[in-house]
Structure 1
């Protein structure tokens, strides 16, 4: 395990934060590209030794403090019989979820068996990681998975998903127990926490979030107290009411639309992860360094006690074609400025 990361989980004050990025093992990285040239994305996820090597690569090269299971949030949909193919145009499901097709979803027991490849990938990843690096897992947010099932993506206004929101509880009859067991598998495999990635949550209103999305998040966090982190794209402080804050989260990630120092009040326990704008990694070096110092200045002005729990990272995941030199420069700059 990584000492800096576990200090963040406990909100132990420290000068230098741990660093990890969403999608740090992905298309921007030559290590990944080399493996992808010889294997399909599906193979990289489902063959444990390949998933482990993809996850190990960026930790070895950029010295991130935390590694993340290499996989995809959509596999539970495949596990329930929706079909899934990764194409040059993105992931394609076999059919879209409608009131007519929802009855064709498969059984939870078989779906859980299908998801065992993630536990095996976690075990293989832990075996190849240095002992001083932490390992976390993830699942897709229930609402985000519903959106993908209904829309085929999470782009646009989500008209169909919102129109069919009354069908969400029926979807959860299968998806909730599957996610609960999927989290268990990853924890048994050796991850220290499991993140819920809810990339479609910011496309709804705060009231919709609290009515439809928060109740199932509450159940998952209470199933595994202190073991579940939450990240949602596009959400603001107003989304997270006192009941949400009171849940036994391991921590919360915030995208770049939030002012990072304020996030320590939104999430008052565990870690606060974020939240440099990932698009700024494409800047020329001189401009990028200025942007980094702008990002770090308010954090440096906080005391170690005030920023206890911070996990430095991006607002969202690393984008394709991101210059590797700026990824390395990010890691080095955080440690240099704050040490």
Structure 2
């Protein structure tokens, strides 16, 4: 954890997986981890006193929804005692975790910042040093949001997505400008969310959601099989503004079958930029008539996390209705208002 020194705001850091440390390691004592971190980055002492807690040591590809909940619970418990939180996370699934935390922590009056790196901290050409310093600075910024600090930018967590597996600017937010940009100075954007009072932590989540990308030749029977296997929700990455095939290999019967058993279907776009409009093309209009829910310009990561959390909080009936209501409004700035 980080405790602010000399009047500096405080925050905590949780090391979650192997982008900063490139291989899985055994359990570390928090004070040992803190000393190693400060040995590599002593400049962090100028920002805050660091207190670190190890939550997990695993590759981010192994992250599960239960890990999102555990991270959220730990952050929620820490918030009253610290002025900001930094979470060190692997890049492969950081967008999913950031989105989930934005929805699991609806009341924030201080920053929660995720960061990681493309190369390990001990490499000569690592980006971990800059990203960690930026994350700690952003955790003292007072921005009351879950964010991703990467490539000299702070992105809204539920808008961030990994856009590059090779370059150092690995994350982007195509439909939402950065919350902050870090150059010679720091430019804070005007569209940050207002401070909200901390709410009781709700750990309910339904992981039985299937996300898939439609493509020419997709056999609808495969998706119908998922309905038979007990899936509770579907997130469909459709073409363009939400277009789906309606002739050969039509997905419309799948959507109708899902509605009949109260399984919500949420439509996002395959395009990184732009928004779903289910009334623009015939395929989208047919999907809307079959009960599909358009997710606007939400990322697939955010739509998946939001649907899981929504379904976790609904009773035995009314899942489609609950999802439609949830996706009709923004919870944490995850969708542009129309």
TM-score normalised to structure 2 length: 0.26
Larger helix fraction of residues: 1
Larger-Rg structure: 2
TM-score normalised to structure 1 length: 0.25
- Point out which structure has higher relative CO (alpha carbons under 8 A, 6+ apart): 1
